[in-house]
Amino acid sequence: MKKEDLQVVAFEIILHSGDARSLVHEGFKLMREGKFTEAEKKMEDANTKLLEAHKCQTSLLQSYASGEEIVMEVIMVHAQDHLMTTMTLREMALEFLEMYKQVNHSLKFGEICNG
């Protein structure tokens, strides 16, 4: 694989995972505001972007598996870091979403019982 082709794949991974990261952060804001349906949608959209990044990564792995020589570059290491940290961030955001829902439900239940 040519250096330029590898760089294109790396930048595509960075682009899609960066978009996903922004969506996750938008989701966090919606969670804090109690807008859980909208936050869930942001998490779904982030997952779609992560899947796009993962497809880029998979194409690179398939090329490597078929015997194509791939010379690793720093930009690809950066791209992989972007992808993996964003995937982890999304997983944590999904946990936070469930916690926010539970806290919100408990607060509403307390208001009903005490109100």
The C-alpha atoms of residue 98 and residue 73 are separated, in whole angstroms, by 39
Rg, C-alpha atoms of the chain: 19
Phi, psi angle pair for 70, to nearest 5°: -125, 120
Task: Read off the DSSP letter of residue 70.
Answer: -
Model pTM score: 0.87
Which tens digit of pLDDT belongs to each residue from 29-56?
999 999 999 999 999 999 999 999 999 9
How sure is the predictor about 105, in pLDDT bands with cuts at 50, 70 and 90? Answer: confident
Does the structure show a pLDDT above 90 at 83? yes
CB 38 within 8 A of CB 104: no
- Return d(Cα 72, Cα 30) in angstroms, integer: 38
Domain 3-114 is found in CATH 2.40.50.140: no
Per residue in 9-18, pLDDT (tens digit) is 999 999 999 9
Count the residues in the chain.
Answer: 115
pLDDT beyond 60 at 112:
no
**Average pLDDT over every residue of 22-26:** 98
- Which residues does the annotation mark as catalytic? 78
pLDDT for residue 72 is more than 90: no
